[in-house]
A and B are shown apart, each in its own frame.
Chain A
Amino acid sequence: MRNILYIIEKEFKHILRNRSILPAIFVAPMIQLIIMPLAADYEIKNINLAIVSGHYSSETQHLIQKITCSGFFKLVKETSSFEEGKELIEKDQADLVLQIPNDLEENLVKEKKGKVLIFVNAINGTKANIGATYLSSILKTYNLEFIQKEFGLTNPVDLRYSNWYNKFMNYPFFIVPGVLVTLVTMIGAYMCALNIVKEKELGTIEQINVTPIKKHEFILGKLIPFWIIGFFVFSVGFFFIGMGIYGIRPLGSILLLYLFLAVFLVAVLGLGLLISTYSQTQQQAMSVAFFFMMIFMLMSGLFTPIESMPNWAITMAKFNPVTYFIEVMRMVVLKGSGFADISGHLLKMLGFAIFFNSWAVWNYRKTV
């Protein structure tokens, strides 16, 4: 116990004196947490739309107005030539081209029937997909209104939406807790792995190995400082940025989040320790840690929902500790879930913690 305290004291001195690590731990995550939710927005706006129509009847103008008023589209060009519309897509200036035939109004009046055509630039799949969906939903509403007007019918089924858990579909409410989790993960696994490997590089670990410090004392002495720093970064991110800047008001218990964080940090620090036992240089440790971080981030459901991934990816995501913490964060913060709701997640996280740490301790050798 005494030895552990001496090591912790020494570690904090190393960390606080390192001018390049210190900002990486405390400043960079905060900047990321402020910037990323603003930039990485799910909502697709500013979809570039070109309209091809040779004849502007009142019906056509009414339709165009409906589309532009929705706020999702930017009308880049109105043209009478289909060729020009095609060229706009080819030059990547338009995401969608809507072709309205010249005789739309005529057909609507005479035959109560008309046709419009949408061309989609599918290079950016997400944007194209969502854009086409928005556009067709506007056209659907237009259809309904037309039917109501012409045939004097009312909607048989009146459709209304109510957004639960995130009433105004506030994007940062959804993304900030997730980004915070990935930042805590980075600090845990990355910094911890680098710290231990640095002692290997400098040769000071050899000195440690001839002292009576026991394996578990060394490991705990190394992990505890980063465990504390993880708590600190999480708290600053959660209270100052999440609640302060983005106005997130967690519905569930913050203590519950801290309980989960405590176990989660043990798991990712264990991973960091594991990486360090297999690396001889900081460069090796960084490459390996970076590989895991990329997978952890992209396959955690942070940006893209896990449910829409292919089956093999869903299976992989289940072996990603970050997935569980992001889920728990969203459940507790947005839904107000309690201990019973997240106990399964907590149990799995305990499993990760035991797995990574046992492997790391097994692989950490004091003797050569």
Chain B
Amino acid sequence: MQTVIHTENLCKAFGDFKAAYNISFEVYKGEIFGFLGANGAGKTTAMKMLCGLSIPSSGKATVAGFDVWTQTEEIKRNIGYMSQKFSLYEDLTVLENLKFFGGIYGMSRAEIKEKSQQLVHELGISQFANRLVKSIPLGWKQKLAFSVAIFHNPAIVFLDEPTGGVDPITRRQFWDLIYQAAARGITVFVTTHYMDEAEYCDRISMMVDGEIKALDTPENLKKQFGVETMDEVFYELARKAQRKGD
């Protein structure tokens, strides 16, 4: 299996506070990798380092074959990112958002046009294509944001709590999109607080107090802790936390 993310003892400290400590794991191509942890456990800090937004304090990591210390610009070219805060431009239309993000990832105008039409058709949002993003329903916005994040066909897409605030049906549809992306060979790195979503992942890592305390498939984790559900796994691990969530 091809490794697309590799980290070794990755640390990030803010003064005395170790936000992320000795993080070591590997993510393989086409995998859906769940990144779990309580609020304040250090998930976002770790993810930011992998996206080239934050320089680590120590340790090693490569993303899509590029070093997080020296090649952040190359990393950015090869990843997609969807933040927990909705971050498409609300005063641009769906097509204009696609055009902008496609453009800055170096897609040609013809390619943008063709892929935009295709995407709008696949998502079944032709009626929204020329509407301002602020006027379309939240569920569609989330799906659209995901589609924009993988529009330039990145090696890896990072999703930071992508389904916050959407209804179960839309969440289900959202996960269908994630499966489709993974089937196309895009590696999905996703943080979530919904344990049913954790079950959908190929493998899961659990962060507690800045460290990874468990990493395996959902099945194995449940066996390891002798429990029935992912909820219980999460509870077993998270209750040992010293840090207070924010």
Contacts and interface: CB of A to CB of B under 8 A. Distances in A.
A210 B106 CA distance: 14
B89 interface: yes
Nearest to B96: A13
Contact of A212 (B89, B92, B104): B104
B48 A207 contact: no
B72 A207 contact: no
Contacts of B91: 13-14, 17-18
A2 B103 contact: yes
Interface string B46-64: 0010011111000000000
Interface stretch (A29-37, A118-126, A159-167, A198-206): A198-206
Contact of A203 (B73, B83, B103): B83
Nearest to A9: B100
A206 B54 CA distance: 12
A12 to B, nearest CB: 11
A: contact size bracket: 20 to 34
Nearest to A206: B83
A200 to B, nearest CB: 11
Interface residues of B, number: 31
Nearest to B76: A212
A6 B76 contact: no
Interface string A351-368: 000000000000000011
A66 interface: no
A213 interface: yes
Contacts of B146: none
A321 to B, nearest CB: 32
Given A207-B81, A207-B83, A212-B76, A13 B54 contact: no
Contacts of A2: 103, 106
B87 A211 contact: no
A95 to B, nearest CB: 54
A275 to B, nearest CB: 23
A96 B105 CA distance: 73
Interface in A62-112: none
A227 B220 CA distance: 60
B76 A10 contact: no
Nearest to A15: B91
Contacts of B128: none
Nearest to A2: B103
Interface string B201-238: 00000000000000000000000000000000000000
A148 interface: no
Interface string B91-104: 11000100111011
Given A18-B91, A203-B87, A212 B77 contact: yes
Interface string A171-213: 0000000000000000000000000000000111011011111
A357 to B, nearest CB: 22
Interface string B166-182: 00000000000000000
B25 interface: no
Nearest to B158: A210
Contacts of B76: 210-212
Interface in B80-122: 81, 83, 85-92, 96, 99-101, 103-106
Contact of B85 (A203, A211, A367): A203
B79 interface: yes
A206 B53 CA distance: 9
Nearest to B108: A2
Residue from A2, A10, A204, A209 whose CB has the most chain B CB atoms within 10 Å: A10
Given A3-B104, A212-B76, 17 more contacts: A3-B103, A6-B103, A7-B104, A9-B100, A10-B100, A13-B96, A14-B91, A203-B83, A203-B85, A206-B87, A210-B81, A211-B101, A212-B104, A367-B53, A367-B55, A367-B72, A368-B48
Interface of B: 48, 51-55, 72-73, 76-77, 79, 81, 83, 85-92, 96, 99-101, 103-106, 132, 158
21 contacts: A2-B103, A3-B104, A6-B99, A6-B100, A6-B103, A14-B91, A14-B92, A202-B87, A202-B90, A207-B83, A210-B53, A211-B104, A212-B77, A212-B104, A212-B105, A214-B73, A367-B53, A367-B55, A368-B48, A368-B53, A368-B54
